[in-house]
């Protein structure tokens, strides 16, 4: 009887985990598809402002990642009154990547503010 309870518990946990994963991936796809064009335009404008030549297909065919919060900001979780707390833990960003030698370019689009910034390496 215990074995049956353990097996049923494991199956229920697997079902809930799978559902949560599917919901999260669907939300990510919806956000990326909703903001991709707007982010692509902002990234092209940011590249043009910095006089960096990028291929036209960069933002339409390259990989895009959704990131919640900027991990490079120095704000602790308990500092909720800090001005950058919202950007560090809650703001959504789309990250476009182009990996062509010799220049690597990342474009980070802040969805909440509609602004893009380029990072070259």
| Domain spans in the chain, listed from the N-terminal domain onward | 36-120
Q: What is the pLDDT of residue 34?
A: 92
Provide the whole-model pTM.
0.75
Would you call 69 exposed, middle or buried from its count of C-beta atoms within 10 A (0-12, 13-18, 19+)?
A: middle
> Is-contact 71 89, C-beta < 8 A?
no
Q: What is the pLDDT of residue 101?
A: 61
DSSP output for 52-113: ----TTHHHHS-EEEEES-TTS---TT-TTSTTHHHHHT-EEEEEEEEETTEEEEEEEETTT
> And the tokens for 104?
């690597």
Residue by residue, pLDDT tens for the chain (121 residues) are: 999 999 999 999 999 999 999 999 999 999 998 998 898 888 888 888 888 777 766 666 677 888 888 877 888 889 888 888 888 888 899 988 876 667 777 888 989 888 888 887 7
């Amino acid at each position: 009887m215990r074995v049956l309870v353990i097996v049923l518990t494991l199956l229920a946990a697997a079902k809930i985990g799978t559902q949560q994963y599917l919901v999260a991936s669907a939300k990510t796809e919806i956000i990326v598809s909703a903001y991709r064009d707007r982010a692509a335009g902002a990234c092209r404008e940011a590249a043009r402002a910095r006089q960096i030549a990028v291929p036209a297909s960069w933002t339409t065919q390259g990989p895009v990642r959704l990131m919640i919060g900027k991990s490079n900001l120095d704000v602790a979780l308990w500092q909720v009154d800090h001005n950058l707390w919202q950007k560090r833990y809650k703001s959504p960003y789309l990250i476009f990547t182009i990996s062509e030698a010799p220049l690597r370019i990342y474009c980070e689009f802040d969805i909440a503010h509609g602004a893009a910034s380029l990072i070259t390496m």
